[in-house]
Amino acid sequence: MESDRPRLELVDFDKPELSLADILSSLSYALDLTGGNPMGHAQRTALIAMRLGAMYGLPESDQTNLFYAVLMKDAGCSSNAARMFEIFGNNDLKVKGRITVVDPTNLIEAASFIMGNVVPEKSLLARAMRTLDIAAHRERLEETVKTRCNRGYEIALTLGLGEDAARCIYSLMERWDGRGSPDGLKGDAIPLLSRIANVAQHVEVLGKTYGLDAAFEIVRKRSGKTFDPEIVNLLLHSRSDHVLWEAVQGDPREELLRLDVHTSAKQTTADRIDSICDTFAQIVDAKSPFTGEHSSRVREYSVMIGEGLGFKKDRLTTLRRAALLHDIGKLAVPNTILDKPAKLDDEEWKCVRMHPYYTQQILSKIHGFERITEIAASHHERLDGRGYFRGLTANELDTDMRIVAVADVYDALSAKRPYRDALATQEVFAIMDKDAGSALDARCLDVLKSSTMTLEDLQQNAYGRRALKAA
């Protein structure tokens, strides 16, 4: 096994091309949010995992698979968010962010965690009853894990990361002693990349929670139970690598993209970028049962308006990608808010109004996505300056920004929400007409009205796609 640090190669950040590593490392910020972790968690985990992989002596192809798998390891997290909220009756992001540090086989520790994270506004008796109910129906939690693992596997394949990377994500929550999920694999039956990634993600979260020294000690104690002892030994030997751990505790992105695993220089095609945007739109929409297909419909409406205004191919491409990714910041909003069947209070509204900010923060990290970022982050801005999160006015909102804003409002009103049923098309346009010229762009609204494509058409297309997938 090789113990030297991974070889680094400088990357020319001035290149105009888009690299797969750049795009996915940036979008990993969104997955951090939906997994209840601080932004940068996946990147820090990837740095640790790549170090362990190099020490183990992984061949080049496995290092590449590990790199992408760790960045996308939480791709399935949004798919079980609503179910986690239903089970715990609490903020799904907080529950997920805390659950990583818990040893589920320690009954006292597990019961204490559940008791401290269920129905927080209820009485002690109510929390105790919910805890007993969860313990008595453990299969429901196991179901959420399997949902996450299966969806993460599917997304990795859709992103073109390959079977080995997908399998790494699928088996990430297996335990060395065979008491993990989703399949109860034991020892060497667990894919090696999953064993490495599991140690890396735990030490990152534990380090943020308790400090690095305590994290190493916890991982050491769980060696042979949760973790592969050989990987744990490599981790303990890495403790003297001060450059690594300084990077992990800081901003790891630049050093991550400099790792020579044939990732940072790998350029990607326009079709693959479109596929990535579409896949992440699905990740966003999977977070709540009330947002299914929302991003794809906003894309259709936006392109529809753009075509009606005479946009050419390149401009339509940018508009389409921005529309698909406009709500990526919504992964930072818990399902206690997204699925709430009643009026939001002031604090909840503050949280909702921050999601375009997170959209901007996530997308702005991608070299070459500057224009996409500005359009996507402006979808809740209004001509009169009463939108959010920046309060931009008509002079600051260009046509592309106005298009996505109109498309987003139309779909929001046309779709069912937890507090109301979907509104009929005529009713939707009557509401939007009141804001035409003052909050919403009247010309964009007129083009949408005149379109031959209706919400019913899009819904039928969506049902058709799902039926084909099921078949």
Catalytic residues: 330
What whole-number distance in Å separates Cα of residue 310 and Cα of residue 304? 10
β-partners of residue 223 are 227
DSSP string, 91-108: -HHHHHHHHTT--TT-HH
What whole-number distance in Å separates Cα of residue 18 and Cα of residue 8? 20
Token reading at 38: 């601080």
3-state secondary structure (DSSP) of residue 170:
helix
Q: Which residue has the tokens 């945007």?
A: 277
- CA 243 to each of CA 201, 239, 437: distance values in angstroms, whole numbers, following the listed order: 18, 10, 56
Token reading at 178: 């065979």
Amino acid at position 128, single letter: A
Report the b/e string of 238-258 with b at 16+ CB within 10 A.
beeeeebbebbeeebbebbbe
3-state secondary structure (DSSP) of residue 436:
strand
Among 268, 332, 361, smallest CA distance to 23 is for 268
